[in-house]
Structure formats: structure tokens, C-alpha cells
Amino acid sequence: MDLKRKISIAVIRRLPRYYRYLSDLLKLDITRISSKELAARMDITASQIRQDLNCFGGFGQQGYGYNVELLFNEIGKILGVDSGFNTIIIGAGNMGQALANYGNFEKRGFRLVGIFDVNPQIVGKRIKDIQIMHFDSIDEFIKNNRVDIAILTIPYNATPAVAEKMARLGIKGLWNFSPMDLKLPYDVIIENVHLSDSLMVLGYKLNQKYRRQA
Amino acid sequence: MDLKRKISIAVIRRLPRYYRYLSDLLKLDITRISSKELAARMDITASQIRQDLNCFGGFGQQGYGYNVELLFNEIGKILGVDSGFNTIIIGAGNMGQALANYGNFEKRGFRLVGIFDVNPQIVGKRIKDIQIMHFDSIDEFIKNNRVDIAILTIPYNATPAVAEKMARLGIKGLWNFSPMDLKLPYDVIIENVHLSDSLMVLGYKLNQKYRRQA
């Protein structure tokens, strides 16, 4: 059953959250759940859940609910958890190191295979079991290793040129932490992370609730 | 004109992105822009923009477009940029340090007023002009300083207890980086950051486009 192409990007953006909640349910040995119960846990409406998960066909049954493991596995497949991605981190500053040490990525199919920096005081050090390499050696590394995703945790001004270099070297996915909506005239998929967007939403909610004076 | 309460959270979540693009336009000395031009820059539809920005009343005019500065200022007000928030970071590991060094938060009204950790090797060091304090002193600090938001960049297992302590000390906003949907039985607003969600969407798009074999 190939349903992938019919699913809108808005639904896709919600899938990782379903995946997390289903993963938690599995850990609690909960094998099935109704849309109503799942909705209460996730703080969304049951009708939103039914609408989203209907994209995947027959996992919800009237009077039974969802089979947690089936749904978890199906969402994992859609998201590519089972196929696995080789990633490299470019920029081993604080953000790069924080991401390198973050165990959850590996669980979701993202293997870290290399870390690069230009700072001679950092190159050669180890994060987990990976020795930080000099950025000068990246062409050769990518030639000799499959790399699907480059994670860019580098200074703002350096980001466009490094991103373009990655695209020219044939990397197909970029995860960019510089606060810009990076676009490239190459066949490459870019996800831009804007941490301040989330913080601004928090600020909005605080202002709404507590109506503080300017 | 008090329009704040009518705006849906879905629109609010898109506002920081408008704010960023309008800020870029101002830097380029662009004083007005049509919904069509803005749509092209932002990779969304003009009708989405008109629908979103209609929430703010008379900033778009037929044949004129949007007044960039007016719209920028109005969105900033809605998001509380002008009122300003005092924030503290709890956990001065890599992620905490990365956020402390991130200049964009200050520009958006989030002043960092304190950094806390429990590690004696870190306590006393400085990040920018702020000396890292021991977490034991946080009760007193919050008693003597206005703190609106606590940024939690601490280990997973420590997060619920620290979050609850913050809520009991009267902090009204938590920005949580532990991979959990933190909920508390307190009158506190929580934004949970799930970095892996964004990475999983990138993985999905890669799989869709390049249809890699499992």
C-alpha cells in the first residue's frame, strides 16, 4: 500500500509528535488506544487525530481504536526511520556538540558519521566515539562515505558558502541552525531551524495571559 | 485597537516568520510590499498571507500593498517584543551555552539575566557578561529579580522536578529543551522544543524525493 504521496506536508509535520506519543505508549505496554484517549494525552481533538491518521488507512477501527504498534511502525516507515540516514555535523561549537551528544537522533534513524570544524583547538578532539576532523578534509570524506544530511551549526556569515559547497558535493539534505531561511539553486532539501520562533510564541502567550505593561 | 484575542494560535505560530521577513525588508530599505511579492519571498501563497495579516486590520491596501514598517511594528507588539522578557538559563552545558551566546534573542526582547548550573567546574565562569551561578542560589535570585521565563537545558530526568520548582517560585513561562511534552499542574506556560521533529521531517522529504531503499 503506497499512500505516501497523498499525505500533505501539514500532516507530515505533525507525524513526529504522533511517533513520540506512540513510542511512549509502547513503553507503557499499551497495545491499543482510542482516538479520544490519544487526544486527551496529546492535547488535541479526537477529530484532528482521526483526520490525520486516516491518511494511513485501516489502523483505526470503530470500537477498537488504534493498534499502537502497527501505527507506530507505519508512521516510522513514512518518516524513513527504518531506512536510516548518515549525517555529519559541520561546526563543533556549543550547538554542534549539543546535537552530537543528543541520543534521540540515533534512535530515530539518524547516524552521526562525522564532525567537522576549522578551529585547530577543536580538531582532533573526540565527541562520543567520533574524532573531529578539519573542514579541509570534507571533500575526501564525502567522496569515500555515504552522507545523506549535513547539519550546519556554523556562524551566520559562513553558512551560505558552506551550504553551497555541501550541495555541490552531492549532499541532498541540509539541517540549518543559522537564523536564516537558507535557499540554494541546487537540488537539495533544506530544513531551517528557527529557535527564536518558538521563544516568541512563548512570549506571546505570556503577554496574552498576564497582559503585562510595556 | 485591541485585536489580540481574536487571533488563532495557528496564525500566531506563523507570526515570528513574518516578523523575520519584514525585518529583512526593512534592512533592505523596502518600505512597502504586495502580498504577491511577500508570498514569493516566503514560499507561501499570497492568499495565505492576506488571510493571516487580515487579523491585524488596515495594513494592506488594494494597489498599495503592506506598509512594511507598520506591519513589522504591529506584529512585534502582538508578540510582546516591545514589552521585554527577563529570562534565565538553567543548565550551562553545550545547549545552554549555545543559547546564551545566541544574539537574536536579545533583539527580540528576551534579556538574559542569569545562568545556573550544579556543576562546580562550570559555576563561577562567565558567558558573555554573566557569571554562572549555582542552582542552590536560585530561590534567592528569583526573589530579588524579575524573571519571566526559565530556559531548561538540563538532563531529561532532572527536568520535571526543576520545572516544578520554577513554577512554585512563580515563574510563568518555561522553554523546555528536554525531549518530552512537559506538563505541570501549575499556572505556567510551557513551550517544548523538539528538535528531532524537524530532523524527521527532513528525513521524510529526502525519502519522498529520492525514494531510497530500506
Nearest beta carbon to residue B82 from set A95, A209, A214: A214
Specify the pLDDT at position A31: 93
Give the whole-number percent of chain B exceeding pLDDT 70: 92
For residues A42-75, b (16+ Cβ closer than 10 Å) or e, as one string? bebeeeebeebbeebeebbeeeebbbbeebbbbb
Specify the pLDDT at position A120: 96
Interface check for A189 against chain B (CB to CB < 8 A): the answer is: yes
Specify the pLDDT at position A212: 55
Interface check for A93 against chain B (CB to CB < 8 A): the answer is: yes
Higher pLDDT, B48 or A125: A125
Nearest beta carbon to residue B173 from set A97, A105, A202: A202
Distance from CA of B143 to the nearest CA of A (A): 19
Give the whole-number percent of chain A exceeding pLDDT 70: 92
Specify the pLDDT at position B139: 97
Judge whether residue A132 has pLDDT over 90. Answer: yes
Q: Where are the beta strands (DSSP E) in B74-163?
A: 85-90, 110-117, 126-127, 130-131, 133-134, 149-152
Nearest to A166 by CA among A137, A188, A134, A182: A188
Cβ distance of A206 and B85 shorter than 8 Å: yes
Judge whether residue B127 has pLDDT over 90. Answer: yes
Q: How far is the C-alpha of A80 from the C-alpha of A54, rounded, in Å?
A: 19
Lookup: cell for B31: 518600505
Asked if B163 contacts B88 with a C-beta cutoff of 8 angstroms, the reply is no
Judge whether residue B70 has pLDDT over 70. Answer: yes
Assign B63 a pLDDT band (cuts: 50, 70, 90).
confident
Q: How far is the C-alpha of A97 from the C-alpha of A125, rounded, in Å?
A: 11
Taking only the tens place, the pLDDT of each residue in A36-57 is: 999 999 988 999 898 888 876 6
Specify the pLDDT at position B6: 64
Taking only the tens place, the pLDDT of each residue in A153-181 is: 999 999 999 999 999 999 999 999 998 88
Cβ distance of A172 and B95 shorter than 8 Å: no
**Which whole number is the average pLDDT over B75-93?**
92
Please identify among residues 95-154 of chain B the ones whose CB lies closer than 8 Å to any CB of chain A.
95, 97-99, 101-102, 104-105, 108-110, 148-149
Interface check for B79 against chain A (CB to CB < 8 A): the answer is: yes
Who's near B116: CB < 8 A, 6+ residues apart?
B88, B89, B90, B91, B92, B132, B133, B134, B135, B137, B138, B141
Taking only the tens place, the pLDDT of each residue in A104-121 is: 898 888 999 999 999 999
Assign B4 a pLDDT band (cuts: 50, 70, 90).
very low
**Which whole number is the average pLDDT over B149-174?**
97
